[in-house]
Amino acid sequence: MALLNQGLENSVVPKIAKYIAIVIGLLFLFSWLNPFVVINAGHRGVITTFGKVNQTVLEEGLHFRAPVMQNVREINVQIQKAEGDGDAASRDLQQVHTKIALNYHLIPNRVAETYQTVGDLDSVGDRIIVPAVQEAFKATTAKYTAEELISKRPEVRDQISQFMKDRLLRHGITIDEFSIVNFRFSESFNQAIEAKTTAEQLKLKAERDLDRIKVEAEQKVASAKAEAESLRLQKQEITPDLLKLREIENQRLALEKWNGQLPQVTGGSVPMINIK
């Protein structure tokens, strides 16, 4: 009996070990083949079959791929930031430097096309965005004078933005936010602008002073006319009866003020007052 049990154990143990080895081998093979892929949030998956790009784009979540035959490249489609510097000449041949900042993202349903045409999407900012910024800036500033670049800044910004949208759309990239951080001109141009601004301010002050002088002169003329008109009207109202009345009033006032004493001065005539 003991020999029988020992024989059974000797025959079962190798089988169990064999099964365990098979399971481990299958797990290892499954892990190596990795037929499942997870696409994280804010990303899309691009499938390549033996190196050929499949135009089907994988959404977020769990997906199956053919082991060995297919690889999946995860592409970020979230909003990203890029900055670029531009140097150009204005229409009046002034040198202009600017810094442009923008937010962009890859169009999700076109990432396979973008990956196929652009390649390494991690360097899309340096390879695609910055050259587009420089080209858009040069093409737009050539249409405006240096002063117009300042006074018509919103219009310039919109033209550069539209130029870049058309350029980047060909590569499956869209712009979310766009802004011109700064315009910088040569020192001589800045001095000329400052001198012009000062001259305009002085001219405006002189015009205001001239307007004030004109108003004051008009006020004086109006006052003189009013006074002359008043004298003319008063002259028309003077009659002999009015003069006689004024004389009587003056005599009455003089009598009210007289203290009853004659002047103590010798010589000359003594003024007489008609008491009646």
Residue pair 74/48 in contact by the 8 Å Cβ criterion: no
Q: What are residue 43's phi and psi, to 5 degrees? A: -135, 165
CB 176 within 8 A of CB 103: yes
Q: Which two tokens stand for residue 61?
A: 């979540």
Q: According to the model, what pLDDT value does residue 9 have?
A: 52
Quote the pLDDT of residue 3.
46
* Contact in structure between 59 and 72 (CB atoms under 8 Å): no
Annotated domain spans of the chain: 17-76, 80-185, 203-255
Give me the tens of pLDDT residue by residue for the chain, a chain 276 residues long. 554 455 545 555 566 666 676 667 656 555 555 678 889 998 999 998 888 888 889 999 888 887 778 888 898 999 988 887 778 888 887 888 888 888 999 999 999 988 888 877 777 877 888 888 888 888 888 888 888 888 888 898 888 888 888 888 988 999 988 888 777 776 666 566 666 666 667 677 777 777 777 887 777 777 777 777 666 666 655 566 666 766 777 777 766 665 666 555 555 554 554 544
Please tell me the predicted confidence (pLDDT) of residue 68: 75
Residue 56: which of 10, 121, 108 has the closest Cα? Answer: 108
Q: Which H/E stretch holds residue 129?
A: none
Q: What is the pLDDT of residue 239?
A: 63
Q: What separation in angstroms does the CA of 169 have from each of 14, 54, 83, 114, 151? A: 65, 20, 18, 10, 29
Residue-level pLDDT at 276: 44
In three-state secondary structure terms, 219 is: helix
Contacts for 145 with CB less than 8 Å, ≥ 6 apart:
90, 91, 92, 94
**Given this model, what pLDDT does residue 275 score?**
47
pLDDT for 84 equals 78
Helices 130-141 & 153-169 angle (0-180, nearest 10): 140
CA 194 distance to own-chain centroid = 23
Please say whether the dihedral angle defined by the alpha carbons of residues 17, 23, 26 and 28, taken in this order, is positive or negative. Answer: negative
According to CATH, the topology of domain 80-185 is Tetrahydropterin Synthase; Chain A (3.30.479)
Given its phi and psi angles, is residue 223 left (phi above 0), alpha (psi -120 to 50 degrees) or beta? alpha
pLDDT of residue 137: 86
| Length of the chain as a residue count | 276
Structure tokens of 126?
């340096």
Beta-carbon neighbour count of residue 32 at 10 Å?
9
